[in-house]
Structure 1
Amino acid sequence: MSSDNVSHPGRPGADELVPSRYALKIGEIDVMVVSDGVLTLPGKMLGHNADPTVRAAWLDYNFLPTETLDWGLNVVVVRSGGRTVLIDAGLGDDPNLNLPKAGQLAHRLVAAGIDLPSVTDVVLTHMHMDHIGMLLVDGVKDQLRKDLRIHVAEAEVKFWTHPDFSHVSMPQGFPDALRAAAKRFAEEYRSNLQTFEEVYEVAPGVVVTRTGGHTPGHSVVRLASGGDRLMFAGDAVFAVGFEHPDWFNGFEHDPEEAARVRIRLLRELSASGELLVATHLPFPSIGHVAVEGDAFRWVPIFWDY
């Protein structure tokens, strides 16, 4: 993708000191990454199967605190073929888990000129609460179109009827909050769900593909237009996952499969040169993947401003 495809990220609102959105074009597809804020979580969740001293050394090497870490929470808005597609929906209201820095999406969409009634489709990479939360905020559903299509893998919907938390490593309270949010979402939006098995084209050049791993129905979204390509990888890739793709993230319901998915996707991205955006990489989370010995290297884009 040439550098002239990246547009100005926009000025921050009067109440914000830094931009919370960044826009670019993938061929004829308009793309905007919007920050929902950050999640403050225990550092050990980056790799609960890693040697604690090695994990602490990685955090220290990257000038990051070892006890708690702010994870970015990114959402993507895509316009293609007359459709406006929201990919994931942020945290919404803080579910009593001490996550006050997230849940910013609703007002940041408005600030970016994206009215909720204009959204024709929502794609969910999976049904964790930080990907469906805004849809559960009071008053949001009333603003959405009655014919809104919410695309999610059938395996994901099935999983959350009886979710398995036996392989995760989450702080206390998170499993119950995740169960409650997923159950409420399925009940409130059942008539809007458009489920798919493996692959589905949501809009021209916008294709969602189930990967599994993080959750059974976890999916990625690939954009392609005019020779340009971008993958929104959801929770398949985390900041530590380039250097240590075999480390298990605390939110992964099948960590061994998640690691295999992560390695496969990173290999694909390094071979193709396409852009990567992921939910929990530092905002705006746009960059390339390169091979670095037996692992990978994250190469963020230069901001155009």
Structure 2
Amino acid sequence: MSLFDIFDTGTAATGELVPSRYALRIGEIEVLVVSDGVLPLPTAMLAHNADPATRAAWFDEMFLPPEAFDWPLNVVVVRSDGKTILIDAGLGLDPDLHLPRAGQLIMRLKSAGIDLASIADVVLTHMHMDHIGGLLVDGVKERLPPDLRIHVAAAEVNFWESPDFSRANMPPGFPDALRSAAKRFQNEYESHFQQFDDKQEVAPGVIVSRTGGHTPGHSVVRIASGNDRLMFAGDAVFPVGFEHPDWQNGFEHDPEEAARVRIQLMQELAANGELLVATHLPFPSIGRVAVDGDVFRWVPVFWHY
């Protein structure tokens, strides 16, 4: 089944009132953006180094509540050269964190007609729990192929052996949850890891490259076919990062390096006009980056129906 065949099932089959998946082509490569739901967090998490009044003004200008913000969670499925590739795996189910509107990925893959047994490769931008948790849901591992390959930067694997959160600024409970999820993930899936230092070709036109910053092994995935290009930027880019690329995210393990990476990627995107998808931009998170004076501007695409 082509990823484009999922339109035949529609959202009515799931009982959902809003769309949660969006398909597009990058040349000959099929791309499906899937929403894993939303993750409510304090607004300070998007810019803990910003003046509170300035931060509140930005949220007010965006017609967003000042205290808590629903972070979107986006995952990408790619089909290239007959291979189905999952890029990140969503939050999964962590009842201790009380996040009922997140962790929807496995249900939504099923409703899209994507069999877990068909996934040949998983690419991880990093190992925060909202990027690996879907693979920790009960019964998922048994449905994945036994020769599954999980592509992750070696620096990321090394970091989670003894994670240092001294420069992060997270709400209570999250550091322990992150450690627990990463440890469990390594215990269950380490034999499937395909570690790389700088970059790795996963399939024709699908290359994962380490950027660092957000975490030591944070990576982006570039998809290219013909004249079309798309970057899945993981957690390198957040909604506030266009107008305020220097604002620091509470989950960043090296905030200054994360800002440098963010600016470099957005300069690159603005120069070449390629499409951008990121984990925490509003679904379906597809757009381009424009230069706006000394900062940047997010330009969402018009949906193709």
Residue 167 of structure 2 is matched in structure 1 by 167
More deviation, 88-97/258-267:
88-97
User: Which segments of 5 or more consecutive residues in structure 2 lack a partner in the other structure?
Assistant: none
**Shift in Å, 1:208:** 0.2
Tell me, yes or no, if the aligned pair for 2:14 and 2:111 is still in contact at 8 Å. no
Q: Distance in 2 between matches of 1:29 and 1:176?
A: 38
Give CA deviations for 1:108-160 in whole Å, capped at 9, x if unaligned: 00111111000000000000000000111110000000000000000000000
Q: Distance in 2 between matches of 1:139 and 1:182?
A: 18
Q: Secondary structure at the match of 1:189?
A: helix
Residue 23 of structure 1 is matched in structure 2 by 23
TM-score normalised according to structure 1 size: 0.97
Q: 1:192 to 1:80 in 2, by over 3 A?
A: same
Residue 184 of structure 2 is matched in structure 1 by 184
User: Displaced runs of 4+ in structure 1, greater than 6 A?
Assistant: 6-9
User: Which amino acid in structure 1 is aligned with residue 115 of structure 2?
Assistant: D
TM-score normalised according to structure 2 size: 0.97
Tell me, yes or no, if the aligned pair for 1:80 and 1:203 is still in contact at 8 Å. yes
**Shift in Å, 1:59:** 0.2
**Shift in Å, 1:94:** 2.3
**Shift in Å, 1:233:** 0.0
**Shift in Å, 1:7:** 6.7
**Shift in Å, 1:95:** 4.5
**Shift in Å, 1:65:** 0.3
Q: Secondary structure at the match of 1:266?
A: helix
User: Which amino acid in structure 2 is aligned with residue 175 of structure 1?
Assistant: P
**Shift in Å, 1:190:** 1.1
In the TM superposition, 1:222-241 aligns within 5 A as: 222-241=222-241
User: Which amino acid in structure 1 is aligned with residue 249 of structure 2?
Assistant: N
Residue 151 of structure 2 is matched in structure 1 by 151
Percent identical among aligned pairs is 73
**Shift in Å, 1:96:** 1.2
Q: Secondary structure at the match of 2:296?
A: strand
**Shift in Å, 1:9:** 8.0
More deviation, 13-22/231-240:
13-22
1:53 equivalenced with 2:53 (yes/no): yes
Residue 283 of structure 2 is matched in structure 1 by 283
**Shift in Å, 1:15:** 1.5
User: Which amino acid in structure 2 is aligned with residue 67 of structure 1?
Assistant: E
Tell me, yes or no, if the aligned pair for 2:6 and 2:112 is still in contact at 8 Å. no
Residue 107 of structure 1 is matched in structure 2 by 107
Q: Distance in 2 between matches of 1:97 and 1:188?
A: 21
Q: 1:14 to 1:157 in 2, by over 3 A?
A: closer
Q: CA RMSD in A?
A: 1.2
Give CA deviations for 1:141-181 in whole Å, capped at 9, x if unaligned: 00000000000000000000010100111100000000000
Give CA deviations for 1:260-279 in whole Å, capped at 9, x if unaligned: 00000000000000000000
User: Which segments of 5 or more consecutive residues in structure 1 lack a partner in the other structure?
Assistant: 1-5
Residue 138 of structure 2 is matched in structure 1 by 138
Q: Distance in 1 between matches of 2:277 and 2:215?
A: 19
Q: Distance in 2 between matches of 1:94 and 1:138?
A: 11
Residue 3 of structure 1 is matched in structure 2 by none
